[in-house]
Chains A and B, each alone.
Chain A
């Protein structure tokens, strides 16, 4: 196992521009929080609680997704197609699985960090959820899942346009439809079944259940874990195919 050098470089780059990292991690989730939580959702109640308490777990899942998938897929795509920096790693004795793991774990770190920052913002503004160790484990699993998806997507993309299309046709629809801002059971049945295909839907379901002080919705945990395993396997295979 020699995946640490990949994480070492990520940490070096983050340490050089910490404010940029912090701002890019927080800007989108804060916008969602302000727009949908404090703006549109003010005064609304969902399932006996405020809309803000309802929407926050979904925004945390969304934040974990965006900050793991986005930076991992973008940097890997650029290094594969433009700067060719990935070739230094591909001609080193680091195995393809270690490359996939290093990149995925860096996505996990970024996703978890952005979610944690958002939790702190929410706590500071008086929004209290039931936070447990399991809640953060699920956030980590969500970040791992989308970090691995980022690696796989970047390795599949043959151009920057491919990457943009993946964002337009998969990530953005998932951001809005996967139960982040509303409960999936409010949709008509065919749409409900459709959005249950998204891994983000299951992350939101589990986090929402845990945040309400209930059990972890084991079905969704298992589906999320299965997606994480599948994306990581795909990521490793695709790196191996390139290496």
Chain B
């Protein structure tokens, strides 16, 4: 559904995205993981036709984002990082507007509005102006809006940014059910657990380049399944081991207060770059 080759975007002389290539298959949930400024949002803006690539090609649902932007826009749904809903309109009106932009038939539009507002748990708020909704509710409405016209591919830019853990779990639930429905999703996130829990494959970005790309399981296995950390000590490098027993044995030689845990994608990132993902 998505094929990009050597996608590059310069801002002045700075390459915000630098020769990025990957493919996303139908029904796959693909994550772009990286710290702020890694190029995730720039990549998604190019794929959603909001930004023209400087170099390289990008095909979405078989259409070129540069030469066929209107066809790309018909095929995609976008859940942006910013809550760009019309706050004076109600939940249902926001979805109706979106349906009209996509030329949906009135009957289909009405049915889809009800279906989606029920899906995201906002049916009882259908006539409530968006300005009266909480941040979490607005985020859920934004997801409903991105799905309104039954897109083949959905782009989600930091879909849970700024939400409390409970609201984040709720959004994860929606994304998991979309995944079960076979919808192709490309999401960006800087939350490790999010990428780990939701994505079939993850591309880790740093300063505009992909530094690793595979399933979370394979990426984590690459560094060692278990990790030990010294509590309160950040000067001791993390160590990784294939089994829990080996990790425990090794920890005795490092320090007294240790934690043995399963490796995460953050460990992968640290192993590759020497930095934490949130720095």
**Is A191 an interface position by the 8 A CB rule?**
no
Q: Are B70 and A83 closer than 8 Å at their CB atoms?
A: no
Pick from B9-17, B76-84, B192-200, B202-210 the stretch touching chain A.
B76-84
State A94–B100 Cα separation when bound (angstroms): 10
Taking A2-B101, A243-B49 as contacts, is the C-beta distance between A91 and B93 under 8 angstroms?
A: no
Give me the interface of B with A, judged by CB distance under 8 Å. Answer: 48-50, 69-71, 73-74, 76, 78, 80, 82, 84-89, 93, 97-98, 100-103, 145
Taking A2-B101, A4-B100, A93-B74 as contacts, is the C-beta distance between A13 and B49 under 8 angstroms?
A: no
Q: Are A93 and B100 closer than 8 Å at their CB atoms?
A: no
Q: Are B84 and A87 closer than 8 Å at their CB atoms?
A: yes
Nearest chain A residue, comparing its CB with the CB of B70: A93
Question: How many chain A residues have a CB neighbour from B under 8 Å?
Answer: 22
State A15–B116 Cα separation when bound (angstroms): 26
Nearest chain B residue, comparing its CB with the CB of A8: B100
Taking A93-B74, A95-B70, A243-B49 as contacts, is the C-beta distance between A88 and B101 under 8 angstroms?
A: yes
Q: Which residues of A contact B88 (CB under 8 A)?
A: 13, 16-17
Q: Are A93 and B86 closer than 8 Å at their CB atoms?
A: no
Sampled A-B contacts (16; CB under 8 Å): A2-B103, A5-B100, A8-B100, A9-B86, A9-B97, A12-B89, A13-B86, A17-B88, A84-B80, A85-B85, A87-B84, A88-B78, A89-B101, A90-B50, A92-B73, A93-B73
Q: Which residues of A contact B76 (CB under 8 A)?
A: 91
Q: Are A88 and B84 closer than 8 Å at their CB atoms?
A: yes
Nearest chain B residue, comparing its CB with the CB of A13: B88
Measured CB to CB, the closest approach of chain A to B249, in angstroms, equals 54
State A3–B279 Cα separation when bound (angstroms): 45
Q: Are A9 and B89 closer than 8 Å at their CB atoms?
A: yes
Name the contact of A12 in the complex, choosing from B49, B78, B93, B101 (C-beta under 8 A). Answer: B93
Name the contact of B102 in the complex, choosing from A8, A83, A85, A92 (C-beta under 8 A). Answer: A92
